[in-house]
Structure 1
């Protein structure tokens, strides 16, 4: 089956120039050192598979799951190959052949099938993050909270909602009608539930009456804005926005105002799903630059050249030691700026970078941009 599937991308496999520009940018290859952990090595493995010189096995599977799907390889590809799409397709074909995914990823798929979230939590507790905040099911703006913010990083959800409500808008949330966006399933090649998930979430969001849907999770944002339309079969019936872009627009229009200063040096990490995948680099920086007293100090590798935090593509769950090592490289770079705060706007970046800071005993604090906005708006009292 895998070999038959590879025939569909045979042209791409043989188009690879084997230049190794991609391998030089790959965070996993940097940590592992072996050629077959990098993109060029993976493409060579595909050539061997399609030629029937080798057979897919556990070692081959491990190589293709050793990837954050950050897209750094695709950005430097000299033949413009859609490498992340190839890696995700190969993972899905390994799943079809019952070779993939990694065992820990199987558990995530089972959790989504059972409880519609990645943590096996009760759907009835989807709104538990809100505390005393008033929630609505209808509104011109809908907040897609995401599994992690709903169940593990509830402060991120609270901060996002506080900001949105402070601007006088009626914000809709789906509550237990919100299902996992499906990002982790797509990244790990587990596509069996995806069409049902997409159709359910699009219908649920449409039923709120929302014209705009915002997400504070970059994984949810990238998945709904980028992956959903071709699966859904048409344009989405709403505009999907990451919270950073929405807030940057509100600052520019004068609707969002800051009342407090944050006298700190801050450096910013570009999440791959927002930057490399969606091309949004300016909005988070515009927010940080607008906060009184805050000094933004950039790292050496930013925007299109930004390093990956290490948490994406299922790597954090499947190979946590590699993910942490990648995060430590980024934290070292952040420390060199002299900043006291390492900001980002992705819950997975927050998790891995925070753990890397702790592991390295760094004098840094990781904060989501929404936390800084809440503080500067005086909403943290």
Structure 2
């Protein structure tokens, strides 16, 4: 219940290119992306389809940056019919979560009649959400912390890297041990 009442931060869309902003309005809702999306094939939730993600983020932009907001007050008769529906924090979090449900395979881009570059768009939207304080997602925080502290996702000290490489060589997962590369001065 607290999520619904929490104020949605004003998202900063300045990191999106003009092309990406137009792509958020370019979806023709043809459904071609649904036929080719491996994540949708696996999960079958409509909210994770490329079409739904793009339409959702377009709704978020319109709810926060509608031109009508400058002239019409919310709660008035005109506001009721002309202003876009406010987006709740719960909806924003769900949209953010759905944005991460993408294998970045680009299948949707190749079949899209509008040629929306979904991977680049999703990366820009993810970055924007993190900058706005919505992310990284809870299940990503350990990975982020581990990468910052240890330079690896396994939460193991850097000093153990040599051991991992030797085990990988022994298990025939790699053919040649990496060599230390000295910088050229």
Q: Could you say whether these structures have the same fold, taking a TM-score greater than 0.5 normalized by the shorter chain as the test?
A: yes
Q: 2:174 maps to which residue?
A: 160
Check whether the contact 1:172–1:208 (CA below 8 A) recurs between aligned residues: no
* Structure with the higher fraction of residues in strand conformation: 1
1:2 paired with 2:11, answer yes
In the alignment, structure 1 segments of 5+ residues that lack a partner are: 132-149, 163-170, 175-204, 210-381
Other structure's SS at 1:81 match: coil
Output the CA distance in 1 between the equivalents of 2:131 and 2:117: 21
List gaps (5 residues or longer) in structure 2.
1-9, 64-84
Deviates more, 1:22-31 or 1:119-128: 22-31
Higher relative contact order (CA 8 A, sep 6+): 2
What are the superposed Cα offsets for residues 215-270 of structure 1, whole Å, 9 maximum, x if unpaired? xxxxxxxxxxxxxxxxxxxxxxxxxxxxxxxxxxxxxxxxxxxxxxxxxxxxxxxx
Aligned match of 1:12: 23
**Residue 118 of structure 2 corresponds to residue 94 of structure 1:** no
Question: Greater CA radius of gyration, 1 or 2?
Answer: 2
SS at match of 1:84: helix
- TM normalised by structure 1 equals 0.35
Could you list the per-position Cα deviations for residues 174-231 of structure 1 after superposition, in whole angstroms to 9, with x for gaps in the alignment? Answer: 4xxxxxxxxxxxxxxxxxxxxxxxxxxxxxx57289xxxxxxxxxxxxxxxxxxxxxx
Deviation at 1:26, TM superposition (A): 1.1
| Structure 1: distance between partners of 2:106 and 2:154 | 26
How much is the aligned-residue C-alpha RMSD, in angstroms?
A: 2.8
| 1:1-381 superposed matches below 5 A | 1-2=10-11, 4-5=13-14, 8=18, 9-52=20-63, 53-55=85-87, 57-131=92-166, 154=168, 158-162=172-176, 172-174=178-180, 207=183
How many corresponding residue pairs? 150
Query: Is the CA contact (8 Å cut-off) linking 1:111 and 1:118 kept in structure 2?
Result: yes
Give, in angstroms, the shift of residue 54 of structure 1.
4.4
**CA pair 98-113 structure 1, distance change in 2 beyond 3 A:** same
Structure 2 CA distance for partners of 1:54 and 1:88, relative to 1, 3 Å? farther
Tell me the TM-score normalised to structure 2 length: 0.68
Q: Is contact 1:3–1:49 with CA below 8 Å preserved after alignment?
A: no
